[in-house]
Amino acid sequence: MKRKITLTVTCAYLIIALTTLLTGIPAYGQQVVTAPYFPLYPGSWWKYSKNGTETYVETVLTDPVVVNSVLTTVIARPEEMEYVTNDSFGIREHRIKENSFDYTVTFIPPVLLSPPLATLGQLTDSQGTARFDIPSTGTFDIAYRASTVPLTFESISVPYGTFESVKIKTTFRMFGTINGMTVDESSTAYTWLAKNIGSVKRIEYYDGKADEEVLIDTNLPMIKPILSPLHFLLLKRES
């Protein structure tokens, strides 16, 4: 799961533009245990083609990082670091660090991207504070609102192969004031997640633009998922 946030500094003012994850047509009622669709094995990596013109690699780092008393896993990309968890509370995004300007955005509470047991067609909403820590400038709190819905099971073909996937739609908005500048940014995205692989395709819509990323290589699946006791119960119920 990915959320891309960009920050441009112009004179004394800061303007942010945000992208996120995930869209589709619902197939209601079925349930899915989400943990295996978002593996976080240390050392795992994925290579994506973006808009057919560039490629990049994202990697799960070995060392966890504590964010607001929670031990998170770090996913590293060229432009950002994403701090996430996948446990009995669901799939959550806790923080993003933007590499170019070295600022962080911490979500309080974390963005809930998916409950541990999701129902197709059922919205998951979360809201709270997006705390920007900007070096040499200060700390600024603005509001965030997020909504995620698993739409359907779908077979999808990408350069790396053909997969049975869960198609997810996510909308995201941040609004408030940063250093005197009014901010109101929103995005909509669609992600196709394959079990034990993760994201095989993403389409993000933001600021009148669209980015499409497809999986071209990965070292997954590596090992069987490490699941909490709750996930084992849910998987047993699902089968």
pLDDT the model gives residue 16: 26
Continuous segment of H or E residues that includes residue 149:
strand 138-158
pLDDT the model gives residue 158: 95
pLDDT the model gives residue 167: 97
- pLDDT tens, the chain, 239 aa long: 655 554 432 222 222 222 223 333 345 679 999 999 999 999 999 999 999 999 999 999 999 999 999 999 999 999 999 999 999 999 999 999 999 989 999 999 999 999 999 999 999 999 999 999 999 899 999 999 999 999 999 999 999 999 999 999 999 999 999 999 999 999 999 999 999 999 999 999 999 899 999 999 999 985 444 444 554 455 455 55
Does domain 5-238 sit in CATH 2.40.360?
yes
**CB of 218 closer than 8 Å to CB of 46:** yes
Q: Is 78 left (phi over 0), alpha (psi -120 to 50) or beta?
A: alpha
Q: CA–CA distance from 71 to each of 85, 94, 110, 144 (Å)?
A: 8, 10, 12, 22
Q: What DSSP letter does each residue of 70-119 carry, written as one string?
A: EEEEEEE-SSEEEEEEEETTEEEEEEEEETTTTEEEEEEEEEEEE-SEEE
pLDDT the model gives residue 22: 35
Helices then strands, each counted (H, E), the chain: 1, 17
Q: CA–CA distance from 42 to each of 18, 39, 60, 70 (Å)?
A: 27, 9, 5, 17
In this structure, what is the dihedral angle of CA atoms 54, 59, 64, 68, given to the nearest 10 degrees? Answer: 30
pLDDT the model gives residue 221: 83
Q: CA–CA distance from 87 to each of 8, 38, 43, 220 (Å)?
A: 34, 10, 19, 19
pLDDT the model gives residue 200: 96
Q: Kindly state the tokens that stand for 2.
A: 């990915």
Q: Which residues pair with 91 in a beta bridge?
A: 86, 114
Q: Is 235 helix (H, G, I), strand (E, B) or coil?
A: helix
pLDDT the model gives residue 58: 97
**CB of 130 closer than 8 Å to CB of 111:** no
pLDDT the model gives residue 236: 53
HSE value, Cβ hemisphere, 13 Å, CA-based, for 22: 25
| Distance separating alpha carbons of residues 16 and 173, to the nearest angstrom | 12
**pTM for this one?**
0.82
